[in-house]
């Protein structure tokens, strides 16, 4: 059991605009490897769906940042302060525009250099 009062699988939720996308691995938060499944160019914004082993993430970024980063294998990165963590059985608490993926808590803690600012929500 962690300091958060939960162990095992958790839901990690994030707003699409808080997810960064890179062609190379990027340190500095929770970073996952994935494959671009869909891209929608929406004028000044681009919506990208990335399939990871843990689930699908929606990424929204300015069109000017999308050049060359929205196809094939990519890495998505979420800064620690943007993560929202819920018990795995609270999936109904996560609704659009948020994306949620299921991860083992130890992987989240390891990737984010756990500190007191990371809080479990939805209890």
Structural domain includes residue 22: yes
| Host domain of residue 85 | 9-112
Structural domain includes residue 4: no
Structural domain includes residue 120: no
The domain total for the chain is 1
CA distance 33 to 114: 21
Structural domain includes residue 117: no
CA distance 45 to 103: 28
Structural domain includes residue 123: no
Structural domain includes residue 67: yes
Structural domain includes residue 121: no
Judge whether residue 4 has pLDDT over 70.
no
Tokens of 85: 């963590």
Asked if 47 and 83 touch (Cβ cutoff 8 Å), the reply is: no
- Which residue carries 């699409």 as its tokens? 16
H or E element: which one contains 66? helix 63-66
CA distance 53 to 10: 15
Q: How confident is the model at residue 83 (pLDDT cuts 50, 70, 90)?
A: confident
What is the pTM (predicted TM-score) of this model? 0.78
CATH of the domain at 97: 2.40.50.100
């Amino acid at each position: 059991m962690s300091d958060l009062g939960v162990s095992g699988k958790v839901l990690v939720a994030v707003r699409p605009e808080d997810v960064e996308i890179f062609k190379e691995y990027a340190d500095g938060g929770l970073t996952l490897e994935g494959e671009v499944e869909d891209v929608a160019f929406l004028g000044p914004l681009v919506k990208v769906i990335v399939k990871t082993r843990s689930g699908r993430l929606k990424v929204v970024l300015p069109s000017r940042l999308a050049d060359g980063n929205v196809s094939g294998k990519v890495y998505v990165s979420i800064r620690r302060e943007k993560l929202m963590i819920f018990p795995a059985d609270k999936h109904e608490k996560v609704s659009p525009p948020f994306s949620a993926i299921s991860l083992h808590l130890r992987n989240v803690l390891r990737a984010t250099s756990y500190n007191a600012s990371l809080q479990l929500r939805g209890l």
